[in-house]
Structure 1
Amino acid sequence: MYSDLLFAVVSIFLLVGGIIKIKNGKYLKKQGKRVKGVIYSLVWERDIYYPVVRFKTTEEVWITKKLNSGTNPSMHSEGEKVLLLYDPEDPDLVEINSEISLTIIPVISIILGWAGLIYVVLSLFDLV
């Protein structure tokens, strides 16, 4: 019973997180500024590598930001040059400008979230 509840909570987080990432990605693709940046460092937290990016805004302000999306193994290495999208109104809203970061990973998160919720509902009715 508790495992089903935990599984449902994790599934909801995956679903909501994926939806938020898709929404932010669409916003950044439409309104964001494109700049060159660098993977400044990689932060290891809870078995995931999170890239820390560094870039200069179009207003010549340096920003260093740990991204909210990470992977294991890391998709990037320290010192790697990357293209970034950032919100000129809020430069802390920044993402690596790639289909993997902006679309594929969020879609996978949404699919896993839905699959988890479907599994929980089916298990409540002893159908799995």
Structure 2
Amino acid sequence: MKTEVIIILISSIIMAIGIFVYLKNQKLLKKGKRILAEVVSNRFDSSEVTNGRTIKIFYPSVMFIAENGEEITEELDIGVNYEKPIGEKIKIIYDPENPHTIKQDNYFSIHIVPWLVFSMGVLGNVWMIFEINGVLNILIE
């Protein structure tokens, strides 16, 4: 029973993180400014070998001029498996009150990622509730 409670707590925290990130993204969508930013560098973070394949993760840094005239250089928060070409223009959203708060302007990072995180938390909670109530044993038999 102790393990189930711990998993429910962890799953609930994961759900809360998903909701927090979604609400933060919605706030950025409402008050943020959309702009094209230029890729200025790529930070290699990790490499993982899966089934003999090496998967590399790169975090691009972008530069843009905020509406107050300040030149901002920030790293994107979601990595990609290839180096983005230096000089490539990508769409971002930034917070005019804090121009260092940026997000790549695409549907996946703004909407899908938070809901995937939230859904993982929901699945963990549902699984544990079923486990505690013996529903999984009934389904297996």
TM-score interval, normalised by the smaller of the two chains: 0.7 to 0.9
RMSD: 2.9
Larger Rg: 2
Separation in 2 of the partners of 1:94 and 1:16?
A: 21
The percent of aligned pairs where both chains have the same amino acid is: 23
1:13-24 correspondence runs (5 A): 13-24=13-24
Taking structure 2 as the reference length, the TM-score comes to: 0.69
- For the 8 Å contact 1:8–1:120, the answer to whether it is kept is no
C-alpha deviations, 1:46-84, integer Å up to 9, x for none? 96544433322112212222333446x46x725342111
Partner of 1:66: 75
Q: Secondary structure at the match of 1:59?
A: coil
User: What 5-or-longer segments of structure 2 have no aligned partner?
Assistant: 49-56, 137-141
For residues 3-47 of structure 1, what are the alpha-carbon distances to aligned partners after superposition, in whole Å with 9 as ceiling and x for unaligned?
Answer: 8725741x3343222212211221122110111113432341596
Query: Which residue of 2 is the match for residue 5 of structure 1?
Result: 6
Moved over 6 A (4+): none
Amino acid at match of 2:135: L
Q: Matched residue pairs, number? A: 125
Give TM-score, length-normalised by structure 1: 0.75
- Match status 1:53 vs 2:62: yes
Equivalent in the alignment of 2:42: 41
Check the 8 A contact 1:50/1:67 in 2, yes or no. Answer: yes
Residue 128 of structure 2 corresponds to residue 120 of structure 1: yes
Q: Structure 1: which 5+ runs fail to align?
A: none
What amino acid does structure 1 have at the position aligned with 2:15?
L
Label 1:94 to 1:125 Cα distance change in 2 as closer, same or farther (>3 A).
same
